[in-house]
């Protein structure tokens, strides 16, 4: 699988480290221990299109959000994590 890093260009996924679900939301501070436990330790195993954090460990060391199909490994989009967060803050607009 090739990941097209916005800084380095297309690179083998072996240069990257998967860092988990980019859609998980941090629970509120007063949400209670069960909500925080689930956020840290309980993971979904989605099938199909999904947004994930990846770290370019063997390259620019940038945090990325890769939107890919978990079944076919087709990659739809790669953005920096900061761009992803800016989109979330603006309601998903590019
Ligand atoms: Zn890179």
Could you tell me the distance, in angstroms and rounded to a whole number, from the CA of residue 82 to the centre of ligand 1? 14
pLDDT at 5: 98
Q: How would you write the pLDDT of the chain (94 residues) with one tens digit per residue? A: 999 999 999 999 999 999 999 988 889 999 999 999 999 999 889 999 999 999 999 999 999 999 999 999 999 999 999 999 898 888 866 5
Which tokens hold the place of 41? 């330790």
Residue among 13, 7, 2 at smallest CA distance from 83 = 7
Could you tell me the distance, in angstroms and rounded to a whole number, from the CA of residue 27 to the centre of ligand 1? 30
Could you tell me the distance, in angstroms and rounded to a whole number, from the CA of residue 42 to the centre of ligand 1? 29
pLDDT at 24: 86
Q: Give the single-character DSSP code of 13.
A: G
pLDDT at 93: 61
Could you tell me the distance, in angstroms and rounded to a whole number, from the CA of residue 34 to the centre of ligand 1? 36
Q: Is 0.75 surpassed by the pTM of this model?
A: yes
d(C-alpha 59, C-alpha 63), whole Å: 11
pLDDT at 81: 95
């Amino acid at each position: 699988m090739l990941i097209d890093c916005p800084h380095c260009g297309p690179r083998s996924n072996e240069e990257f480290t998967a860092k988990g679900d980019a859609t998980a939301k941090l629970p509120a501070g007063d949400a209670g221990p069960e909500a925080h436990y689930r956020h840290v330790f309980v993971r979904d195993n989605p099938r199909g299109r999904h947004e994930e954090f990846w770290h370019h460990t063997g390259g620019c060391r940038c945090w990325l959000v890769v939107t890919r199909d978990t079944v076919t490994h087709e990659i739809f989009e790669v953005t920096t994590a900061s761009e992803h967060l800016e989109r979330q803050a603006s309601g998903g607009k590019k």
